[in-house]
């Protein structure tokens, strides 16, 4: 009788079962179907002027070598070696109901049914006092739930995000929430708000109260670098990244003048990026953003652990429509998938139109929430660290996008920084940041240029 455990094991060479083909073999076959066109005719040029080839090989690998590993600068592959602590990203629910009562009901329903944190829009909810905020977060255990605020501006009260931040700190005090249990983001982004609201200056644009907010906010972050509005303003991906970097550098300089340490400032920053159904570009965006931010913070003298970037992805509503709910569901799912693969720490799927007959309500929220739950808890997307890493296509796209974004960032800095560029005419801003529309007054100029 033969003892299989001691028998000699056979080595199987899988390559012996397949024929070997070269790139030239593929090109010869492809040319037969192109009706006289060249292989290059299959390539595409993105809005960022990046060429996307039809096929990639090891020849396209980044000549600079490996992009490293997670938890090691430049953090292209992620900020933690072990991946997500809970096996998935933070499922952050957008709460933007039109009343305090409905916002509270939506918040509780989200937390009960699988969302792990709240993303409040104070402006849409109508929060104008600490009492409103308290009612909105009624029965929410603030020692267990992180609350993040969308940068907001209340035109009737002429108040910005600073007031909301103060109310949140006061609410933590009232409910006895200690510093070690205060988590979330206070949404301070006056420059971003001035662009989105098309006003010259926000009430809190001098950032004078940020040091005090940082001192009282515990583990919560204070400064939000929000560029998620770029797709809705026709901005390119490289322009979005360059804008976020320039804005972050502007806040670094301003707050350093207020005697804050650089590392204290960077630890209190978080970045909100858009996520779209252009999955590979979205994956490359989050990877490139971490790399570029690590480069900036390293030059500022930050230690390795403070060169990481806290990333929040918000799905773009640019391609959503009212007539095709299944297409909306597909777009939202792919956008969330791409952000998760790209390594975003938190993802918000904006509730999308379910149909032209059903508008708003739990049906849309449930679809948006379940899109993430399926990806996180059934597909286990978050359990693999940087699954796109090593792909010749993704690695080169990350490299090209980082280079393009860095070029625009340097142009902004050479022009005096983001504040100086904003104070100049709109053409200068659009020249540096692509076709970004600053409002309805520029629509005619867009058409003339096209």
Q: What is the CATH classification number for the domain harbouring 339? A: 3.20.20.240
Note whether residue 52 is domain-resident.
Answer: no
Note whether residue 399 is domain-resident.
Answer: yes
Give the Cα separation of 119 and 109 in Å (integer).
14
Question: What pLDDT does residue 361 have?
Answer: 74
Mean pLDDT by 10 residues, the chain (450 residues): 54 70 86 90 91 86 68 89 82 95 96 97 94 98 97 68 95 97 96 79 74 97 95 89 96 94 97 96 97 96 94 89 76 95 96 59 89 92 90 94 95 89 70 54 38
Q: Are the C-beta atoms of 200 and 194 separated by less than 8 Å?
A: yes
- Using CA atoms, how far residue 73 sits from 284, 298, 317, in Å, is 17, 9, 33
Question: What pLDDT does residue 175 have?
Answer: 97
Note whether residue 280 is domain-resident.
Answer: yes
Half-sphere exposure of 401 (CA within 13 A, CB side): 29
Question: What pLDDT does residue 429 have?
Answer: 66
Token code pair at residue 202: 């926000």
Question: What pLDDT does residue 359 have?
Answer: 46
Give the Cα separation of 322 and 352 in Å (integer).
9
Note whether residue 237 is domain-resident.
Answer: yes
Note whether residue 158 is domain-resident.
Answer: yes
Opening angle at CA 200, ends 166 and 222, nearest 5 = 30
Question: What pLDDT does residue 139 have?
Answer: 97
Note whether residue 148 is domain-resident.
Answer: yes
Bond from prior residue into 233 cis (ω within 30 degrees of 0): no
3-state secondary structure the chain: CCCCCCCCCCCCCHHHHCCCCCHHHHHHHHHCCCCCCCHHHHCEECCCCCEECCCCCHHHCCCCCCCCCCCCCCCCCCCCCCCCCCCCCEEEEEECCCCHHHHHHHHHHHHHCCCCEEEECHHHHCCCCHHHHHHHCCCCCCCCCEEEECCCCECCCCECHHHHHHHHHHHHHHCCCCHHHCCEEEEECHHHHHHHCCCCCCCCCCCCCHHHHHHHCCCCEEEEEECCCCHHHCCCHHHHHHHHHHHHHHHHHHHHCCCCCHHHHHHCEEEEEEECCCHHHHHHHHHHHHHHHHHHHHHCCCCHHHCCCCEEEEECCCCCCCCCHHHHHHHHHHHHHHHHHHCCCEEECCCCCCCCCCCCCHHHHHHHHHHHHHHHHHCCHHHCCCCCCCCHHHHHHHHHHHHHHHHHHHHHHHCCCHHHHHHCCHHHHHHHCCCCCCCHHHHHHHHHHC
Question: What pLDDT does residue 428 have?
Answer: 63
The rounded Cα 405 to chain-centroid distance in angstroms is 15
Q: Which of 254, 252, 185 is nearest to 213 (CA)?
A: 185
Question: What pLDDT does residue 442 have?
Answer: 39
Question: What pLDDT does residue 436 have?
Answer: 56
Question: What pLDDT does residue 194 have?
Answer: 84
Split into its structural domains, the chain has a count of 1
Q: What are phi and psi of 128, to 5 degrees?
A: -130, 10
Q: Is the pTM of this model over 0.85?
A: yes
Note whether residue 14 is domain-resident.
Answer: no
Note whether residue 70 is domain-resident.
Answer: no
Parent domain of 372: 90-412+416-432
- Using CA atoms, how far residue 5 sits from 1, 8, 9, 12, 100, in Å, is 12, 8, 9, 18, 69
Question: What pLDDT does residue 357 have?
Answer: 46
């Amino acid at each position: 009788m033969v003892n299989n455990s001691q028998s000699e094991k056979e080595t199987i060479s899988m390559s012996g079962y397949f024929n070997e083909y070269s790139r030239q073999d593929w090109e010869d076959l492809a040319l037969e179907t192109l009706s006289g066109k060249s292989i290059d005719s299959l390539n595409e040029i993105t809005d960022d002027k990046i060429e996307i080839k039809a096929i990639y090989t090891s020849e396209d690998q980044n000549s600079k070598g490996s992009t490293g590993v997670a938890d090691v600068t430049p953090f292209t592959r992620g900020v933690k070696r072990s991946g997500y602590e809970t096996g998935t990203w933070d499922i952050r629910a957008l709460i933007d109901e039109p009343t305090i009562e409905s916002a509270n009901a939506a918040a509780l329903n989200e937390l009960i049914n699988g969302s792990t944190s709240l993303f409040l829009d104070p402006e849409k909810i109508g929060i104008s006092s600490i009492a409103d905020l308290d009612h909105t977060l009624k029965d929410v255990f603030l020692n267990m739930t992180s609350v993040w605020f969308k940068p907001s501006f209340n035109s009737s009260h002429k108040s910005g995000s600073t007031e909301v931040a103060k109310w949140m700190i006061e609410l933590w005090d009232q409910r006895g929430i200690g510093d070690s249990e205060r988590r979330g983001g206070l949404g301070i982004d006056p420059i971003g708000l001035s662009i989105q609201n098309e006003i010259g200056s926000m009430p809190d644009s001098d950032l004078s109260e940020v040091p005090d907010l940082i001192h009282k906010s515990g583990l919560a972050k204070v400064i939000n670098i929000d560029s998620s509005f770029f797709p809705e303003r026709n901005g390119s991906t490289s322009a979005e990244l360059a804008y976020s970097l320039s804005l972050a550098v502007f806040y670094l300089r301003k707050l350093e003048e207020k005697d804050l340490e650089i590392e204290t400032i960077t630890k209190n920053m978080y970045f909100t990026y858009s996520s779209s159904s252009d999955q590979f570009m979205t994956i490359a965006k989050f990877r490139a953003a971490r790399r570029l931010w690590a480069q900036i913070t390293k030059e500022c003298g930050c230690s390795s652990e403070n060169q990481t970037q806290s990333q929040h992805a918000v799905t773009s509503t640019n391609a959503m429509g009212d007539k095709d709910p299944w297409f909306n569901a597909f777009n939202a799912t792919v956008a969330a998938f791409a952000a998760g693969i790209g390594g975003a720490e938190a993802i918000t799927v904006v509730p999308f139109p379910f149909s032209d007959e059903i508008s708003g309500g739990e049906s849309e929220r449930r679809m948006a929430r379940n899109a993430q739950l399926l990806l996180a808890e059934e597909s286990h997307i978050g359990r693999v660290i940087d699954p796109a890493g090593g792909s010749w296509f993704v690695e080169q796209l990350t490299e090209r996008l980082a280079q393009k974004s860095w070029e625009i960032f340097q142009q902004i800095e050479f022009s005096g920084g983001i504040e100086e560029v904003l104070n100049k005419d709109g053409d200068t801003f659009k020249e540096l940041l692509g076709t970004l529309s600053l409002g309805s007054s520029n629509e005619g100029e867009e058409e003339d240029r096209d």
